Amino acid sequence: MPEALIAFVKDMDQCWIERRFDDLTAYLCADVVMVAPGGQHRTDGRDAAINGYRAFMSRCELNRFGSDGHVVTRNGDTAIVEYDWDMAWIDGGTSYEAKGREILVLAHRDRGWRVVWRTQIPG
């Protein structure tokens, strides 16, 4: 089962990387909450979350995204998937690089696993 949840998360990442934003609806719960590093900004709801991915990718050129070190903790119909990420992008002519740890809380709902909460810890 951990392999299936890791594949789920990797497939979700491919959606925003490949700009297949509408496909994210299969991965995000309708009431998903995304908390920015430091907790100073929250995005509530799937539409707002998808619009956040869309806004980032519309203004940025993604040069690199990688993930590894996936760890899955499952308890019944809830799972936590955490992993390291590393990315480079250009935004407004300025190059950026960042790395950190992603933490996703998934719940098993009627139609399968969905992300209900997401945050990143800067690395």
- Distance of alpha carbon 98 from alpha carbon 113, whole angstroms: 28
Question: 2-122: what fold?
Answer: Nuclear Transport Factor 2; Chain: A, (3.10.450)
Would the pLDDT of 34 be above 90?
yes
Summarize the confidence of residues 52-56 as an average pLDDT: 95
Would the pLDDT of 1 be above 70?
no
The domain segmentation of the chain, as residue ranges, is 2-122
Quote the mean pLDDT of the chain. Answer: 95
Strand arrangement of the beta sheet that strand 112-122 belongs to: 42-44, 28-35, 112-122, 94-109, 78-91, 60-75
Tell me the per-residue pLDDT of 85-121, one tens digit each, with 9 for 90 and over: 999 999 999 999 999 999 999 999 878 999 999 999 9
